[in-house]
Chains A and B, each alone.
Chain A
């Protein structure tokens, strides 16, 4: 684990027990998260992106378990040599030293993540008191301060109101305030804007970005929509069927994607579609994770699949030091394949600007 890294995942495997069967949800993932960056994890529903980040917080459902692997975390900014392995945590007591204090999470739906019976102020105070030994008055002051930070006007009056008196966007701001209440170092945003309108979505993303600078947070976005992350992410990891198939800097991923699945995801965005023509859509369905997957999980849906894709799992091929992809197409022996024309158009647009 080098100095810039705050969280390092090594060969993580997560399985679920389901009606007597085992489901292999996370298949041998390694990923480093750097201090202060914003990382986006993109994938379809069922790709395991939420499960993956839930392991950082010990929030797996009761039938889920880690089956090998390590999650190293640097808990103390003053002492860079100290690391803990989150994968070895077993008790709730251990998790409480991490959850909220070090790593906090914003859930998808602001409608359901607040308690409807308590005022907004009380819910923030509650979180503050849980982690800090300060008086109620101080905690209240802090709550007001947090509400101001997340852009809620008249915080004194608003703190006395209940969640139903807030709009969706405002509620998401409150949820962010609660997440920040204990001064976390990593903020995980699980689809922070899917339930919101486009205009509000843009505002919330901007807010998270501003707060990231102000509090020097490391942020991890989870989303299924590649269109949303272009302006928020420094790096992007694309997940498919429980595996990370491509990691790259934001520009590299949009202008020079290498994995056929990333091509497919980008091509199916309506923003890039041509009116009157069909949008590109991925054929077939993601594989069942109940069975062992051989080779590249995307191969059966991949028009560019090679024979070896069905037999052996591709390793990570390095495109640049910051860009790697798990596809046999990058092997020097592979035939040369041109990406679909949507992708080439995106790349052209860049060279023009």
Chain B
């Protein structure tokens, strides 16, 4: 991807998502900003409870937003929007879920699971057309068309996740939110699903939002990564930049925890634990700032100076 001309597909501005009663709200996502470019894979990394899934669900209109705008392809898609736009968004943005054992309807056959989204299209498709689209979708994810008449329990975990991918692809989406799509899978199956996602991206020019807690996987497939901690993006940079110059202590803690298949290196590994109390935000409040082109960090004025010094040294 060329760096000078980037086409913003999704622009998230000052997004906040709250849960609970209005009197005692719990803020899951706190005033975050980021942009996703067309054709890239954007990673969101964080621990469980950090709000990474909520970000994805807010974009796809499952969780209502409290403040901020989500601009998709020049149009605001959060809050109150017209029914037509809502349908368009549902078609263009699709989701792949974490656990293929739980995300498929156990009582439906594969052809129904894959075709369900098509029933929602404004134009009614004939049975034959639908069958053709389903078998194409199955073929594109490496499954045989005759699997359409089977039930989910007849498949292995990797095959089920392929069905999940086919279900998303059948709508002809532009943007896919993949929420931990490989965490529940075996290592060898992970490779297959990752390769499949990369292949579909090449063939169809898809844009991915890849949500994960595992930095080693995101390093492999993401172009840029945002690190989320307690509903705040603490650092955002291009993948290699983030791995070479992790600035925020939380990013450093995450990086130090990646298990490596290399005993020599593992023996000398120093585990960093993130302690939020190292920040003194009482007087000087932090904000999200660009420290180098494309490298953003959540810091206050004093910290920003320290981080800049790290770059110089």
Contacts and interface: CB of A to CB of B under 8 A. Distances in A.
Contacts of B88: none
Interface string B253-282: 110111111111111010101100000000
Interface in A247-280: 250-251, 254-255, 264-266, 268-273, 275, 278-280
B254 A231 contact: no
Of B187, B198, B253, B266, most buried by chain A (CB within 10 Å of CB) is B187
A293 interface: no
Chain A interface size, under 10 / 10 to 19 / 20 to 34 / 35 or more: 35 or more
B194 A279 contact: yes
Interface residues of B, number: 42
Nearest to B49: A167
A202 B187 contact: no
B249 interface: no
Do most interface residues of chain B lie in helix, strand or loop, or is the interface mixed? helix
Interface in A271-296: 271-273, 275, 278-282, 285
A265 B214 CA distance: 18
Contacts, number: 117
A231 B269 contact: yes
B213 A197 contact: yes
Interface in A182-235: 197-203, 206, 224-228, 230-231
B188 A282 contact: yes
Contacts of A264: 188
A242 B187 CA distance: 18
Do most interface residues of chain A lie in helix, strand or loop, or is the interface mixed? helix
A16 to B, nearest CB: 18
A198 B254 contact: yes
Of B157, B213, B266, most buried by chain A (CB within 10 Å of CB) is B266
A349 B213 CA distance: 27
A269 B187 CA distance: 7
A231 B187 contact: no
Of B221, B258, B259, most buried by chain A (CB within 10 Å of CB) is B259
Interface string A38-50: 0000001100000
B238 to A, nearest CB: 12
Interface of A: 44-45, 168, 197-203, 206, 224-228, 230-231, 250-251, 254-255, 264-266, 268-273, 275, 278-282, 285, 346, 349-350, 353
